[in-house]
């Protein structure tokens, strides 16, 4: 059910073998969300059946390729909402935080970027090794791009659908999140960081590979800085970068 306080909001959920997590995640999606799209990554368990049972209005998209980035790109392509929210299926990102992201966009920003390292954010899941990797990659980005990101490798984001017109996304894996952040910055779209808490995966094993995926993120950073992409058709004047401070709830 859509509520008039917000424009149309679409939620995109990449999922692969998440039958045990979806009964927790889907019911927590706020009522004002108008469209929930689950991109199923060739699951052979009951992921799709459970999704339909728990959330009857959900749209199921069968993923053509492989990887989180491929799934997200396929989901973005079929969204009809004015705002798109990226949500994980494993319970690590809490749907209850969706209003926080949408409210940030309602302030006039184009992209709301989740951060685990602002006041009001946090992580129950990040390991010391992943923390070090995220810190190192974040410092590289901030130096190369002149940004002030407090977090880099985190996938809880929301953005106005029009942002897609300024992007040329081609990543298939977890590096899609970094590519999104960098292309938004390069397009001079207004971005705000929103505090968010990352939770433990509820069931199952993460598909994240610390070293391999970290290397892919690094290569994406270099490619976005020095590689050749198709020209951006239009840019909004000025880069506005802010951090939204929200006290812990």
Q: Does the reported pTM lie above 0.75?
A: yes
Torsion sign over Cα 164, 174, 111, 21:
positive
The answer to whether residue 4 scores a pLDDT higher than 90 is no
What total of structural domains would you count in the chain? 1
Does a structural domain hold residue 144?
yes
Provide the token pair at 156: 């809880």
Does a structural domain hold residue 1?
no
What distance in Å separates the CA atoms of residue 150 and residue 129, rounded to the nearest whole number? 17
Does a structural domain hold residue 3?
no
The answer to whether residue 67 scores a pLDDT higher than 50 is yes
The answer to whether residue 92 scores a pLDDT higher than 70 is yes
CATH of the domain at 214: 3.90.550.10
Q: What pLDDT score was predicted for residue 53? A: 98
Does a structural domain hold residue 249?
no
Question: Which domain range does residue 89 map to?
Answer: 9-227+236-243
Does a structural domain hold residue 211?
yes
Torsion sign over Cα 23, 53, 98, 168:
positive
What distance in Å separates the CA atoms of residue 83 and residue 105, rounded to the nearest whole number? 8
Does a structural domain hold residue 2?
no
**DSSP character for 93?**
B
What distance in Å separates the CA atoms of residue 217 and residue 171, rounded to the nearest whole number? 10
Higher pLDDT: 116 or 213? It is 116
The answer to whether residue 168 scores a pLDDT higher than 50 is yes
What are the tens digits of pLDDT across the range 29-49?
Answer: 999 999 999 999 999 999 999
Q: What pLDDT score was predicted for residue 125? A: 73
The answer to whether residue 22 scores a pLDDT higher than 90 is yes
In this prediction, residue 228 has a pLDDT band, given cuts at 50, 70 and 90, of low
Average pLDDT over residues 5-11: 92
Higher pLDDT: 203 or 17? It is 17
Does a structural domain hold residue 70?
yes
Q: What pLDDT score was predicted for residue 206? A: 63
Angle at 161 between CA 215 and CA 12, to 5 degrees: 60
What distance in Å separates the CA atoms of residue 97 and residue 178, rounded to the nearest whole number? 21
What distance in Å separates the CA atoms of residue 118 and residue 27, rounded to the nearest whole number? 27
CA gyration radius for the chain? Answer: 17
Among 15, 56, 55, smallest CA distance to 38 is for 15
Does a structural domain hold residue 41?
yes
């Amino acid at each position: 059910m859509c509520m008039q306080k917000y424009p149309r909001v679409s939620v995109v959920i990449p999922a692969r073998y998440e039958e045990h997590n979806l009964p927790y995640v889907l019911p927590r999606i706020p009522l004002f969300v108008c469209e929930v799209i689950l991109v199923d990554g060739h699951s052979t368990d009951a992921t799709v059946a459970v999704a339909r049972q728990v959330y009857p209005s959900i749209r199921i998209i069968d993923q053509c390729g492989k990887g989180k980035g491929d799934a997200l790109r396929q989901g973005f392509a079929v969204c009809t909402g004015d705002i798109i929210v990226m949500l994980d299926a494993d319970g690590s990102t809490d749907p209850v935080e969706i209003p926080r992201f949408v409210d940030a966009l309602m302030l006039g920003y184009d992209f709301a970027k989740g951060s685990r390292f602002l006041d009001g954010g946090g992580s129950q899941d990040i390991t010391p090794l992943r923390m070090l990797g995220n810190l190192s990659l974040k410092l590289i980005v901030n130096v190369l791009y002149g940004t002030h990101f407090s977090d880099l490798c985190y996938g809880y984001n929301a953005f106005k659908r029009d942002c897609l017109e300024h992007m040329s996304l081609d990543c298939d894996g977890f590096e899609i999140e970094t590519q999104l952040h960098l292309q938004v910055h390069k397009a001079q779209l207004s971005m705000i960081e929103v505090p968010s808490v990352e939770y433990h995966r509820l069931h199952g094993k993460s598909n994240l590979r610390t070293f391999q995926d970290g290397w892919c993120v690094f290569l994406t950073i270099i490619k976005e800085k020095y590689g050749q992409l198709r020209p951006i058709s239009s840019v909004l004047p000025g880069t506005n970068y802010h951090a939204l401070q929200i006290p812990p709830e």
